Amino acid sequence: MRLRTPYMRCVVTLTIPVFFLFTTLCLVLAQPEQNRVPISKIVVLNVDEASSGWIDKNLFTRFFMDEMRKINSSIEVHVHILYRIEDWEKLLKEAPRAIMVVNSHGEIIPIPSSYNADWCSFLGDLARLIEDKGWVLVNPIGYAFWGVGNAVDPQVGSAKIIGVNGLNCFMWGVGLVASAWPPLPEDYMNGQFNDLSKKLFDILGYEIGYDIPESIPIHRPLTVFNGTTEVLPLWALIEVKGENVTCYGFAAYKIGRGYLIWGGLHHIAPGTKVPEDITARLTAATIAYFIEPDILFMPAAPKKTPLKPSTVILSIFLVVLATISLYILKTSGLIGRRPK
């Protein structure tokens, strides 16, 4: 059949590539989802034999478990708490695939007794579990691996400070270099929530300015290098922007098959306090998005209507004023008197 008009020739010419494009798109959409990380369980490190740095581990764990119970229907994952150093050592030896470890110890991380205080080997092995077994390590606050803890081992004690060498050994285990010193003065390291975190908070029912402050001090942001190339996070909830520099808080860094999620929050201290309940909410929100990215397509939670302190004071004042006025009117006989 001859195509007698340019219009018909154009239609046929466009139909063939469109058909193949449509077929390819259908095949892609039919593939299993690749953006979900199949985490089998979440383990919270709250080991009795190790102390914590920049955070109260017990208070954080309590708040974190409360937050995870609230959002568990959205992500459907089991959360376990490890209280004993023996259980932590057993988990490391079993090395199951695709688990998430939340370190409630802040700048300290528990080290098993079998390492005989060889913290560099321990941190290197931990990094390789992330790289090879798909582990996800979440460290919400401070300069992670600043110290190790194990009161059973007299060479370590509940907290042995190793400084920047801890993060160095961890990163060397996977061929990377990193630092968590702020590139700007700490007074300029207040992070702002980005569009991702705002959307996520709306869905989880966290209101900025009520459940979470409007800005968060990110005083230990992570900077990672692979050779001379900076490794940027896949995503982050908090950003600190300065002149020619951007830092991130609660950011997900890909390491082999697994991830390191770095909070970078400032320590719990007077005047710069990030309370454990806020730290727990930020951690829970990060985990919810990491495990179930499709949570962003869920409807937003109903807005809370918190009363401002000024509103509460005014309401109390009006009630007291009305009570006094009613009392004066009654005692003066202006009300309650029977007509003659």
Report DSSP letters for 236-296, one per residue.
EEEEEEETTEEEEEEEEEEETTEEEEEEEEPPS-TTS---HHHHHHHHHHHHHHHH-GGGG
pLDDT digits (tens, 9 = 90+) for 187-217: 888 899 999 999 999 999 999 999 999 989 9
Q: What confidence score (pLDDT) does residue 242 get? A: 85
Q: Do 26 and 129 fall within a single domain? A: no
What per-residue confidence (pLDDT) applies to 261?
98
Can you tell me the mean pLDDT for 151-178?
Answer: 97
Does one domain contain both 260 and 141?
Answer: yes
Q: Are residues 193 and 85 in the same domain?
A: yes
Burial (CB count within 10 angstroms: exposed 0-12, middle 13-18, buried 19+), residue 320: exposed
Looking up residue 48, the CATH number of its domain turns out to be: 3.40.50
Q: Is residue 303 part of a domain?
A: no
Quote the mean pLDDT of the chain.
85
Structure tokens at 112: 């098993």
CB 107 within 8 A of CB 139: no
Same domain? For 179 and 291 the reply is yes
Domain count, the chain: 3
Instruction: Tell me: do 83 and 199 sit in the same domain.
Output: yes
**Same domain? 272 vs 333:** no
205 occurs within a structural domain? yes
Tell me the H-state helices in the chain.
6-30, 57-75, 85-94, 119-133, 165-172, 195-204, 276-291, 309-331
Considering the domain boundaries, does residue 254 fall inside one?
yes
> Model confidence at 324, in pLDDT bands (50, 70, 90)?
confident
The answer to whether residue 177 is domain-embedded is yes
Report yes or no on 283 lying in a domain: yes
Give the CB-side neighbour count of residue 265, counting CA atoms within 13 A. Answer: 31
Is residue 55 scored above 90 in pLDDT? Answer: yes
Would you say residue 302 lies in a domain? no
Select from 138, 67, 54 the least CA-distant residue to 281.
67
Phi, psi of 282, rounded to the nearest 5 degrees: -65, -40
36 within domain boundaries: no
Burial of 27 (0-12, 13-18, 19+ CB in 10 A): exposed
Average pLDDT over residues 131-148: 97
The pLDDT assigned to 34 comes to: 39
Is the Cβ–Cβ distance between 237 and 290 less than 8 Å?
no
Q: How many CB atoms lie within 10 A of CB 237?
A: 24
Q: Does residue 122 share a domain with residue 236? A: yes
User: Could you tell me if 10 and 94 lie in one domain?
Assistant: no
pLDDT for 317 equals 73
Task: Measure the CA angle with vertex 82, ends 80 and 84; round to 5°.
Answer: 160
Whether residues 245 and 269 fall in one domain: yes
Q: Which residues pair with 247 in a beta bridge?
A: 240
- 214 burial (CB, 10 Å; 0-12 / 13-18 / 19+) is exposed
Residues 13, 124 share a domain: no
Least trusted range by pLDDT, from 4-13, 19-28, 116-125, 292-301:
19-28
Q: Are residues 184 and 216 in the same domain?
A: yes
Higher per-residue confidence, 314 vs 301: 301
Residue 227 has pLDDT above 70, yes or no: yes
Does one domain contain both 50 and 182?
A: yes
User: What is the span of the domain harbouring residue 7?
Assistant: 1-31
Report if residue 93 sits inside a domain: yes
- Whether 74 shows a pLDDT value over 80: the answer reads no
Average pLDDT on 22-27 reads 38
